[in-house]
Structure 1
């Protein structure tokens, strides 16, 4: 009953639009007051201990890396390079959109950063070239989900810290799903534009073709430094984040984009985003302590195991739950609340932890495109000046490829477990 009332209180406050951190803290404080054996000193220790994690330090660093990439003009360079290479293909700007997001994802780690940085460039360019505004914003929104799946994925770091998994292994587990998303979106572009011969750009040859490509290569170096260092065992993911930030600052300075205004913008936005994320992490740590104290994971396991002993049925139920939760709850908060309960249950079914982690993360990323909370929808509406209703209409068709990829990684663990088995970080 204690767990039930806490969950009711949490849901009620979320419905009332109370900030997530406050919605998590309030039921916990009431629990501490009501339970004589619980003290505020222990509650404070649990909250702080949730933040006292070396891998968690990578979160603000990767957020900063993405912000520096935003102001350094790397997104423009990637877009120009992709356009020069594949601009003559039918529906070329659709493929360019996906390719640019894939390149930027190695530096971003967050869908919102991708949507904000690339949406302002790609959507107007596509509309100008004859693509519908709905398709333009839809493909931009869908391709932005590559960033939180591909390393350096911020949701993967949060998940790894919460579940006690290797950050490097979870990074590697996201590479094949990200490639599946790229493939699925390219198929979607082909299906949509296959009869539109007018959607080609004029061929670019010689110097005009290769100079944009060469100009974009230094930006891609950030991904090589970060992932290469982790896979090569040179440094940890947290250390890789610091090296990546240093590399990006040097690159931005070389591009002459690190003026006082941009530096202050990077510091302010990093502080704001990191503060919000880490406040939720601390509150969720206390919430998780209360759930563990009341044996919520064990009771959840008993309940679900009483419904089915089939791991496939469990995965189907898990997907349904997460698609609903992702539509109403921000991914970081959802991971912190659900993983301490769901991960032990999945273990009871003999499922690989990396497989389950990939399924949970991908589900919650789809939630970024789902009303009413889908943050990517509002970011794209802001940077493109299109109404949210039109953004939603543009995104709806892209649920087909995203759900297809979700089905593949859910029912075929090979896609998420093979590469970590081959490359041990």
Structure 2
């Protein structure tokens, strides 16, 4: 009854427009006050103990580094490099859009940041060249989910901090799945090129490609430095965030685009964004502690066991639930809410936790693409000034291929675990 009441209060608060962090925290506090069996001193202790984690320092650092690199003009350089590589392929700027998202993911680690930065450049360019605006929005939104999959990823930093899993190994585990999803989206754009209205560009010469590569090299090198440094033991994931900030500052100074004023502005924006994430984490800790205290994870595991003993079916049911949650709750909030519930269930069924984490993140991201809410599609519609309803039809084929891709990742674990095993991440 306690958990049911908490979810009722939580749903009502969300329904009246309260931010999810406060809705989770207030519903947890309310049921504890009604219960009366827990000293209120436990509340601040639980809240702050969940934030007392060294890896969480990486969150503001990666956000700050991404802001610095993007303002330094790196998005323009990445788009130019992507155009030189794949702009001549059938699908033209659609292919460029997806490859740009792959390369930009090494900077942002966020789907919404990817839509804002890449979409802000690519959607107007695609409309100008005759692409149907709704297709431009869908391509941008679908490829934006690669940001939190390919490292460095804020979702993986949060997941590792919450579960104790190696963030470096999580980063490695996201690379091949992210590239795999990018490949199948590019194949879809190739197939649908005529329907999208996509012209091709002339192939860029090798010398010109080399010049464009040099402009984009700072962006391409940063994720290599971060993942390589973590994997080699030169620095921890949190220390890698410091390296990324120093790198971003250096790049901005070299390009003469940073000064004291805008550096302060980016630092302030990063602090505000990070604070909202940490408030959600603290509130979710209260929420999850009550569910654990009431035995919810064990009850879910028992319920699933009574339905089936087949781990493959259990994984499918979990993924369906995650997509449903991701439809209505922003991805970071949904991850923080669901991980404490699902981790004991995954352990009970013997899932590999690194593989499971990648599946969870992709499933929640797919939820953010799913109507009726489709948060990142809505953001793309604002950029393109397109009616949201017009994007539903072109969204179907992209969502379908991404679901097929997720099923492959779910049931072919080597896609996720092959690279970490090859590089000795499990030793």
Please state which band the TM-score falls in when normalised by the shorter chain: over 0.9
Instruction: Please report how far the alpha carbon of residue 385 of structure 1 lies from its aligned counterpart in structure 2 after TM superposition.
Output: 2.8
Q: Which runs of 5+ in 1 are unaligned?
A: none
Alignment partner, residue 110 of structure 1:
110
User: Could you say if the C-alpha distance between residues 207 and 166 of structure 1 is closer, same or farther in structure 2, counting changes exceeding 3 Å?
Assistant: closer
Q: 1:206, 1:412 → 2: CA distance?
A: 37
Instruction: Please report how far the alpha carbon of residue 267 of structure 1 lies from its aligned counterpart in structure 2 after TM superposition.
Output: 2.1
Alignment partner, residue 278 of structure 2:
278
Q: 1:7, 1:254 → 2: CA distance?
A: 51
Deviations 1:14-71 (A, max 9, x none): 2332210111111211232233331121111000011110111111111112211221
Q: How does 1:203-218 map to 2 (within 5 A)?
A: 203-205=203-205, 208-218=208-218
Q: How does 1:6-405 map to 2 (within 5 A)?
A: 6-193=6-193, 199-205=199-205, 208-405=208-405
Tell me if structure 2 keeps the 8 A contact 1:231–1:424. no
Query: Aligned-residue CA RMSD in angstroms?
Result: 2.0
Match of 1:386, SS state, is: coil
Match of 1:71, SS state, is: helix
Please give the TM-score of this superposition, normalised by the length of structure 2: 0.94
User: Could you say if the C-alpha distance between residues 200 and 233 of structure 1 is closer, same or farther in structure 2, counting changes exceeding 3 Å?
Assistant: same
Instruction: Please report how far the alpha carbon of residue 400 of structure 1 lies from its aligned counterpart in structure 2 after TM superposition.
Output: 1.5
State the number of aligned residues.
Answer: 425
Q: 1:201, 1:164 → 2: CA distance?
A: 47
Tell me if structure 2 keeps the 8 A contact 1:61–1:242. yes
Instruction: Please report how far the alpha carbon of residue 395 of structure 1 lies from its aligned counterpart in structure 2 after TM superposition.
Output: 3.0
User: Could you say if the C-alpha distance between residues 258 and 395 of structure 1 is closer, same or farther in structure 2, counting changes exceeding 3 Å?
Assistant: farther
Which deviates further from its counterpart, 338-347 or 236-245? 338-347
User: Could you say if the C-alpha distance between residues 295 and 349 of structure 1 is closer, same or farther in structure 2, counting changes exceeding 3 Å?
Assistant: same
Match of 2:145, SS state, is: helix
Match of 1:73, SS state, is: helix
Q: 2:23, 2:378 → 1: CA distance?
A: 22
Which deviates further from its counterpart, 104-113 or 204-213? 204-213
Tell me if structure 2 keeps the 8 A contact 1:67–1:113. no
Q: 1:277, 1:373 → 2: CA distance?
A: 21
Instruction: Please report how far the alpha carbon of residue 102 of structure 1 lies from its aligned counterpart in structure 2 after TM superposition.
Output: 0.8
Deviations 1:396-421 (A, max 9, x none): 33102211111111122222222222
Please give the TM-score of this superposition, normalised by the length of structure 1: 0.95
Tell me if structure 2 keeps the 8 A contact 1:141–1:395. no
Q: 2:81, 2:233 → 1: CA distance?
A: 31
Q: 1:361, 1:197 → 2: CA distance?
A: 32
Match of 1:283, SS state, is: helix
Q: Which runs of 5+ in 2 are unaligned?
A: none
Q: 2:69, 2:381 → 1: CA distance?
A: 21
Tell me if structure 1 keeps the 8 A contact 2:92–2:198. no
Instruction: Please report how far the alpha carbon of residue 233 of structure 1 lies from its aligned counterpart in structure 2 after TM superposition.
Output: 1.2
Tell me if structure 2 keeps the 8 A contact 1:101–1:147. yes
Tell me if structure 2 keeps the 8 A contact 1:90–1:197. no
Asked if 1:410 corresponds to 2:410, the answer is yes
Q: 2:277, 2:379 → 1: CA distance?
A: 18
Match of 1:251, SS state, is: helix
Instruction: Please report how far the alpha carbon of residue 182 of structure 1 lies from its aligned counterpart in structure 2 after TM superposition.
Output: 1.1
Deviations 1:79-99 (A, max 9, x none): 111212333322221221111
Match of 1:72, SS state, is: helix
